[in-house]
A and B are shown apart, each in its own frame.
Chain A
């Protein structure tokens, strides 16, 4: 079966696409307001101007904190709803796909993909051909190895952010002084977890929005569909399953 250029496969549902963009908006807002909440002479990742400007914009540090909390609670509530309503349709299949690591194949993919990204296809063809590698990557499923690892990292980061964030929220409205040490660790870990997920999201944003090769994947987050050609090349195992089932 050869696919025509117009042939496409459905990759995302409407609910999935909504969650993606809702998530993106929330993370961006929470990252910006969260960084503005850090204001200490010895820290200030962006100097004193950034927290001051943001506090001016929101009408004081207290309001900035409130906006951060309300956005976080909205994000959490929508996620809770999504998880409940789409547990079998989305959440469990997603987690299965994300967890489906095959060590040998995925390690090889990660290694070769890095070399390919660094050298580019043309240079790589010249350099690695003599070593007996034709430049192709191991076939991948619905998610490739990089996507799976990034997803696992972001899920772990999100869980840590939620736990530490709730502890800080509780400190103001619920907890007694006995929790001080845990709350203090929460502050530090919340910041570190936010930076950790930011690292993964930088790679994600590069891959999706900047890299030309992945442009069809970016567009699919609006249309829900990817060209069959793209699926065949990037997610062969998923393509065989999806297209094979349709044909």
Chain B
């Protein structure tokens, strides 16, 4: 089975220390005012009544199996890596149009203010290439974030996923089948938004594109038909003026 990188997260272990956020920012040079990961804070009023206490929910791009961001990208600059399932961004190809930003139910993406391209968590691609774990996982003091191949029953993440009950945090209108799993109670679960496809993009797919593609196709067919007719009729079909002075009609056949 193909490698499917993901995280299994224990929200009960998270103490909201922000270590993962700081480590990520440093490791990936995330610009001021933007974040590639987060810790969602639970409801304090509810927590006061609940013996479990306040929940903190660490998260980041969920490297979804049905990524709406990939569906919103016209050029494939955002794509799902076949070898490990991580959703990546080709910075050279991306022009920063922002269609993917609104398409993410987790608002995991931002537009890099200097590079003018979309940016988000890629499970620390550079660190992984060097044989390291993602920075947030490495730095977490309570091991709330566990990273690995979800398809491998012997990886740390795979073992947890099989051994315990877990949930995905999804918006029911936009279930993207995310690859972040939460053990037990994930805490806040109502924050993912509905994925939004930009109006021009919808117009392209539903109306404008098909209409003009049909027009190109019909014109192409017309040209082929005209060419076929010309092949069949050959040089016989000439305008009457070319017979200069002669009555048109039968005398064309002389050229045959």
- Chain A residue with Cβ nearest B110: A177
Cβ-based interface call for B189 (8 A): no
Q: Which of A31-83 contact B (CB under 8 A)?
A: 37-43, 45, 51, 60-66
Do B97 and A122 touch (CB < 8 A)?
Answer: no
| B-side interface residues, number (CB < 8 Å) | 54
| A-side interface residues, number (CB < 8 Å) | 57
Do B71 and A185 touch (CB < 8 A)?
Answer: no
Do B226 and A211 touch (CB < 8 A)?
Answer: yes
Q: Given A120-B233, A206-B223, are A180 and B76 also a contact pair (CB < 8 Å)?
A: no
- Chain A residue with Cβ nearest B73: A40
| Contact flags B22-43 to A (C-beta < 8 A → 1, else 0) | 0000000000000000000000
Q: Given A202-B220, A233-B241, are A125 and B249 also a contact pair (CB < 8 Å)?
A: yes
Chain A nearest CB from B16 CB (Å) reads 29
Cβ-based interface call for B213 (8 A): yes
Residues of chain B lying within 8 A (CB to CB) of residue A174:
116
| Contact flags B227-243 to A (C-beta < 8 A → 1, else 0) | 10110010111111110
Do A40 and B76 touch (CB < 8 A)?
Answer: yes
- Interface segment, B45-53, B158-166, B167-175, B204-212? B204-212
Q: Which residue of A42, A45, A184 contacts B200 across the interface (Cβ within 8 Å)?
A: A184
Cβ-based interface call for A195 (8 A): yes
Residues of chain B lying within 8 A (CB to CB) of residue A229:
242, 244
- Chain B residue with Cβ nearest A63: B92
Do A213 and B239 touch (CB < 8 A)?
Answer: yes
Give complex CA distance A172, B117 in Å.
7
Do A38 and B74 touch (CB < 8 A)?
Answer: yes
Cβ-based interface call for B77 (8 A): yes
Apart from A65-B95, A177-B113: 20 A-B pairs, beta carbons within 8 A: A37-B75, A39-B76, A41-B71, A42-B71, A43-B205, A43-B209, A51-B76, A65-B75, A122-B237, A125-B249, A135-B240, A168-B95, A172-B117, A175-B116, A180-B98, A183-B98, A192-B208, A195-B216, A202-B223, A205-B223
Measured CB to CB, the residues of B under 8 A from A are 70-71, 73-77, 90-99, 101, 111, 113, 116-117, 198, 200-201, 203-205, 208-209, 212-213, 215-216, 219-220, 223, 226-227, 229-230, 233, 235-242, 244, 248-249, 252
**22 A-B pairs whose Cβ atoms sit less than 8 Å apart in the complex:** A51-B76, A62-B92, A121-B237, A122-B252, A125-B240, A168-B95, A171-B116, A172-B94, A172-B95, A173-B116, A180-B101, A184-B97, A187-B99, A188-B208, A198-B216, A199-B212, A199-B215, A206-B223, A211-B230, A212-B235, A233-B239, A233-B241
